[in-house]
Amino acid sequence: KQEVTQIPAALSVPEGENLVLNCSFTDSAIYNLQWFRQDPGKGLTSLLLIQSSQREQTSGRLNASLDKSSGRSTLYIAASQPGDSATYLCAVRTSGSRLTFGEGTQLTVNP
């Protein structure tokens, strides 16, 4: 059974800092991996999708990498801003169409 772990559970950084969020998974036979952002009381917003054949994806200040062999993905946020404060979740699709989600990392960027 696929298990997804996100470390740390919470992170507080000053504005402007570059930061890395980590996601690890136990079954490397994944179809894709997706990073989401969730603001309090809202749904999840898709940030980046990495297919199993890809190593990384970039969108603006966000860069996500994927290392299937080690079962790891990282989400890099450059020049963090207070508006980046949210919970970030990763999810992997192993087979069929179901995803397995991590518990998320709660990020606070302080002005």
Partner 1 sequence: DVKVTQSSRYLVKRTGEKVFLECVQDMDHENMFWYRQDPGLGLRLIYFSYDVKMKEKGDIPEGYSVSREKKERFSLILESASTNQTSMYLCASSSTGWGDWGNTGELFFGEGSRLTVL
**Closer by beta carbon to partner 1, 34 or else 73:** 34
Q: How far is the CB of 98 from partner 1 (least distance, A)?
A: 6
Contacts of 63 (CB under 8 A, 6+ apart): 56, 57, 75, 76, 78
Nearer to partner 1, 80 or 93 (CB): 93
Rounded Cα–Cα distance for residues 69 and 30 (Å): 10
Residue type, 87: T
* Interacting residues toward partner 1 by CB under 8 A: 31-32, 34, 36, 41-46, 49, 51, 89, 91, 93, 97-99, 101-104
Radius of gyration of the chain (CA): 13
Q: How far is the CB of 54 from partner 1 (least distance, A)?
A: 11
